[in-house]
């Protein structure tokens, strides 16, 4: 299959009268080696259905179709979405394996919103070169609304990758690190330079391999929570509470938890009491807390103790 090179990308932009939009994060990959490496690292096999956010001109889409998998490509820019099947055909891809949706991926609210053609499996993998300004909200959103997603292999700005993979107390550790740790485990796959894009971004990039882990199992093991209370609804309520605590704690990350969680808990004293009930030292800062610590705080807020029994 003929993948897209720099000349193809420039010619496609001219033919479609697209001048890449910074706001939409439109930096198109011009290097076949890079997209082939991403498709290979994703480990997709023939027959798999993959969801791709932001196919753009189709650089990565072609590399995925080359693996003989099925691709649901969700593109916000109607000009790019309309051109995609044509480009795929022109480059020798099997366009029967491509389903294009023209829409904001953040508006997908469940698997039923995907235009899955008959006979296609539910996607288990997200593979994308994400629009850099909304990469974290997009990944978190897809983990939430597509429970069938087992993993994601995505390219993002290098600094964003650092935040995603950071562990407790690392310099880059922050709210995105904890929220992703709720869903699973992220590791950096490889770096990508600026010269493989058109236009070249003014930041470096990195590919991240994210694997979803079984949240129910983690809650049972880490927190000794009783299985009986862990319905899907209870887990979702707990997750929302965890994310609220994370947002509060990291919005004032230089302060101690007693202060940063004061509004969340009602007052500095209520925050101290909550933290003590959760077994977390009130004098610590947010950057010292793991997802398990935040889960204990959320459980204490919801149930008065860190046990759901």
Instruction: By CB under 6 A, name the binding residues for ligand SAM.
Output: 24-29, 53-57, 59-60, 74-77, 80, 104-106, 129, 131, 134
* Total residue count of the chain as it appears in this document: 309
**Nearest to ligand SAM of 74, 166 (CB atom):** 74
Using an 8 Å Cβ cutoff, are 136 and 143 in contact? no
Return the residue nearest ligand SAM (CB atom). Answer: 54
Place of tokens 């998998």: 69
Write down the least CB distance from residue 134 to ligand SAM, Å. 6
Write down the least CB distance from residue 121 to ligand SAM, Å. 22
Largest distance between two CA atoms of the chain: 66
* Cα separation, 307 vs 295, whole angstroms: 10
Write down the least CB distance from residue 131 to ligand SAM, Å. 3
Who contacts 307 (Cβ-Cβ below 8 Å, separation ≥6)? 223, 224, 225, 226, 299
**Nearest to ligand SAM of 129, 260 (CB atom):** 129
Cα 138-297-170 angle, rounded to 5 deg: 60
Using an 8 Å Cβ cutoff, are 177 and 164 in contact? yes
Write down the least CB distance from residue 102 to ligand SAM, Å. 9
* Cα separation, 112 vs 37, whole angstroms: 31
Using an 8 Å Cβ cutoff, are 57 and 4 in contact? yes
Write down the least CB distance from residue 40 to ligand SAM, Å. 15
Instruction: State the virtual CA torsion across 221, 224, 227, 232 in degrees, nearest 10.
Output: -70
Write down the least CB distance from residue 75 to ligand SAM, Å. 5
Write down the least CB distance from residue 207 to ligand SAM, Å. 11
**Nearest to ligand SAM of 131, 282 (CB atom):** 131
* Cα separation, 192 vs 195, whole angstroms: 9
Write down the least CB distance from residue 105 to ligand SAM, Å. 4
**Nearest to ligand SAM of 32, 55 (CB atom):** 55
Q: Any alpha helices (H) in the chain, and if so which ranges?
A: 6-16, 32-42, 59-66, 78-90, 135-145, 158-165, 175-183, 215-223, 232-251, 257-260, 262-265, 268-278, 291-303
Using an 8 Å Cβ cutoff, are 138 and 105 in contact? yes
CB atoms within 10 A of CB 154: 28
* Cα separation, 176 vs 209, whole angstroms: 15
**Nearest to ligand SAM of 53, 161 (CB atom):** 53
**Nearest to ligand SAM of 59, 67 (CB atom):** 59
What 3-state class would DSSP assign to 134?
A: helix
**Nearest to ligand SAM of 137, 148 (CB atom):** 137
**Nearest to ligand SAM of 27, 256 (CB atom):** 27
**Nearest to ligand SAM of 78, 117 (CB atom):** 78
Place of tokens 């807390």: 289
Write down the least CB distance from residue 250 to ligand SAM, Å. 24
């Amino acid at each position: 299959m003929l993948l897209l090179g720099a000349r193809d990308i420039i010619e496609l932009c001219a033919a479609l009268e697209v001048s890449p939009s910074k706001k939409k994060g439109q930096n198109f990959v011009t290097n076949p080696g890079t997209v082939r490496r991403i498709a290979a690292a994703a480990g997709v096999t023939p027959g798999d259905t993959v969801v791709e956010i932001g196919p753009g001109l189709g650089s990565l889409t072609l590399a995925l179709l080359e693996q003989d998998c099925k691709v649901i490509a969700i593109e916000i820019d109607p000009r790019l979405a309309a051109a995609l099947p044509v480009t795929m055909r022109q480059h020798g891809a099997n366009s029967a394996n491509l389903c294009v949706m023209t829409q904001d991926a953040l508006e997908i609210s469940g698997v039923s919103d995907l235009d899955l053609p008959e006979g296609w499996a539910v996607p288990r993998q997200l593979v994308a070169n994400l629009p850099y300004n909304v990469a974290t909200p997009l990944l978190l959103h897809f983990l939430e609304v597509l429970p069938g997603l087992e993993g994601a292999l995505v390219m993002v700005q290098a600094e964003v990758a650092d935040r995603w993979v950071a562990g407790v107390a690392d310099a880059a550790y922050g709210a995105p690190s904890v929220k992703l740790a709720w869903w699973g485990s992220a590791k950096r796959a490889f770096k990508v330079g600026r010269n493989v894009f058109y236009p070249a971004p003014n930041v470096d990039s990195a590919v991240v391999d994210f694997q979803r882990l079984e949240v129910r199992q983690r809650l049972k093991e880490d927190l000794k929570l009783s299985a009986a209370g862990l319905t899907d609804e209870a887990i979702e309520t707990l997750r929302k509470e965890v994310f609220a605590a994370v947002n509060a704690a990291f919005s004032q990350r230089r302060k101690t938890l007693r202060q940063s969680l004061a509004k969340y808990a009602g007052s500095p004293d209520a925050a101290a009491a909550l933290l003590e009930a959760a077994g977390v030292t009130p004098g610590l800062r947010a950057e010292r807390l793991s997802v398990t610590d935040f889960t204990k705080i959320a459980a204490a807020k919801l149930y008065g103790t860190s046990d759901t029994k």
